[in-house]
């Protein structure tokens, strides 16, 4: 399966409207769906926040020039919210999986979809 298929599968669930897959370091975009490409400083901020979330805790999470309120940040997952929309970022062994869910989608169901894909990627050493 190509990397593009993973992001396309996320958007096909109806829970996610935009998704991207980056290298774990955040220096390479592997796939995107729904036009979800971040600025270099935005993905660098996320990649670094898995190890040290203090910057996100003080200034929020920035994606596509939008500021999201940080809900959670640890070594595996980062969640953010902007009004009724949200984002989920999950780090695997070799990648960072990013997903955006739109208004009308239950945050928990969107998160579950992304976390399950991340679990699969980890199980196959990605």
Strands 77-82 and 61-63 come out as unpaired
Give me the chain's average pLDDT, please.
94
CA atoms within 13 A on the CB side of 95: 23
H or E element in which residue 120 lies: helix 107-123
Q: Give which of 118, 106, 87 is closest to 6, Cα–Cα.
A: 118
Hey, how many other C-beta atoms are within 10 angstroms of the C-beta on 115?
Answer: 16
Percent of the chain, pLDDT > 90? 89
Residue 32 has pLDDT above 90, yes or no: yes
Hey, how many other C-beta atoms are within 10 angstroms of the C-beta on 2?
Answer: 9
CA distance 26 to 18: 17
H helices then E strands: how many in the chain? 4, 7
- pLDDT score of 34: 86
- pLDDT score of 11: 95
Domains of the chain and CATH, by start: 3-124 (3.30.450.30)
pTM, to two decimals:
0.92
| Mean pLDDT of the region 102-117 | 95
CA distance 17 to 54: 28
């Amino acid at each position: 399966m190509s990397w593009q298929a993973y992001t396309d599968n996320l958007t096909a669930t109806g829970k996610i409207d935009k998704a991207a897959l980056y290298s774990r370091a955040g220096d390479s975009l592997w796939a995107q769906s729904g036009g979800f490409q971040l600025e270099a400083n935005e993905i660098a901020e996320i990649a670094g926040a898995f190890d040290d979330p203090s910057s996100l805790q003080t200034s929020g999470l920035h994606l596509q020039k939008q500021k999201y309120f940080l809900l959670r940040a640890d070594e595996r997952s980062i969640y953010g919210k902007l009004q009724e929309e949200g984002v989920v970022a999950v780090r695997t062994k070799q990648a960072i999986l990013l997903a955006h869910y739109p208004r009308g989608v239950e945050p928990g169901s969107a998160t579950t979809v992304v976390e399950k894909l991340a679990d699969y990627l980890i199980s196959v050493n990605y």
